[in-house]
Amino acid sequence: MSNQIYDIIIIGAGPIGIACAIEAKKNNLTYLVIEKGCLVNSLYNYPINMTFFSTSEKLEIGEMPFVTTNPKPKRAEALEYYRRVHNKFNINSQLFETVLSCKKHKGIFTVITSKKEYQAKNVIVSTGFYDCPISLNIPGENLPKVSHYYNDPHYYANQHVIVVGASNSSIDAALETYRKGAKVTLVIRSNEISPRVKYWVKPDIENRIAEGEIDVYYHSNLMEIQEESATIKTPNGIITIPNDFVLALTGYKPNFKLLESFGIELDYKNAMIPSYNPNTMESNIPNMYLAGVVCGGLNTHQWFIENSRIHANLIIQNIISNDLS
């Protein structure tokens, strides 16, 4: 264990975690960013062809311009931008190091990771939600052909693919795999494509469905997944169709077990939203803060990069004011 006591330990090296580090550095606070994966790990695991909903200027942090050739940046551009920001500010970070526990004793947090042990006066939890997929809880979900993540459409060329869900990730996967020759079937629990689907994508999927190029079952649920088929419960009865792969893109959630192990209270009656003061982002634990999309609990559409960048300044200013009081 190092003898150093940091002013701040930041858990998570996503865009908001990096933004918090930049603000800490600007204010001459000692800090360390700890990330269990690679730099901006969640963004790295986005689909390879993903286009952001936000324009590039709304993804900027550290007052560094994000210049793109397209109105809305793609995944590769975002990865390069945040890498350059990280290097520009020479962010003190430990990558591929998993936080296992965080306990407070006599005003000091001890953070134990898969590699070391650290101490800090303040902790910022900016762990996002992309690492914990929401399960279907059906037979066959653990088969190798089932994935809760989608990357590259070429892999599914000329295969029977079921895509579960009606959100942006599901619709992107359905359209991209269809255009690589997959026979695509959408299974949607509600009665429509989500209204939050990107406005330039929604007409495309609606037209593909109208033309019969992509099959869709509304008000339906996947019941069971077999090696070469899948069973769907539809309003017209239970059907079984040929199937090679299932993309169960049913959403993701924060690591609630980790948050509760830290002592952060969750509102079980309100989308598992963690307890925090919206004016300071301080949780129910004094000097432990929440930043970024983790603040939304199961409401993962509530917070995203462009509207949670402000968390960094709120947190650092509160830490400074506490130190001065």
CA-closest candidate to residue 64, choices 80, 47, 45 = 80
Cα separation, 16 vs 108, in Å, equals 23
The answer to whether the 5-132+252-324 and 135-248 domains have the same CATH topology is yes
pLDDT tens for each residue of the chain, 325 residues long: 567 999 999 999 999 999 999 999 999 999 999 999 999 999 999 999 998 989 999 999 999 999 998 889 999 999 999 999 999 999 999 999 999 999 999 999 999 999 999 999 999 999 998 888 999 999 999 999 999 999 999 999 999 999 999 999 999 999 999 999 999 999 999 999 999 999 999 999 999 999 999 999 999 999 999 999 999 999 999 999 999 999 999 989 999 999 999 999 999 999 999 999 999 999 999 999 999 999 999 998 889 899 999 999 999 999 999 877 6
Q: Is 201 helix (H, G, I), strand (E, B) or coil?
A: coil
Q: By the 8 A CB rule, do 147 and 245 touch?
A: yes
Question: What sign does the CA torsion over 218, 223, 225, 229 have?
Answer: negative
Q: Is 7 helix (H, G, I), strand (E, B) or coil?
A: strand
Cα separation, 170 vs 283, in Å, equals 33
- So where are the chain's domains? 5-132+252-324, 135-248
Cα separation, 40 vs 107, in Å, equals 30
Cα separation, 23 vs 226, in Å, equals 51
For the entire predicted model, the pTM comes to: 0.92
**DSSP notation for 14-65:** SHHHHHHHHHHHHTT--EEEE-SSSTTHHHHTS-TT-B-SS-GGGG--TT--
* CATH level 3 topology of 5-132+252-324: FAD/NAD(P)-binding domain (3.50.50)
- Backbone torsions φ then ψ of 280, nearest 5 degrees: -125, -15
* CATH level 3 topology of 135-248: FAD/NAD(P)-binding domain (3.50.50)
With residue 161 as reference, give the H or E element that holds it: strand 160-164
CA-closest candidate to residue 35, choices 77, 86, 76 = 86
269: tokens are: 């009656």
Cβ burial of 27 (10 Å; 0-12, 13-18, 19+) is middle
Tokens 């590259």 — which residue? Answer: 152
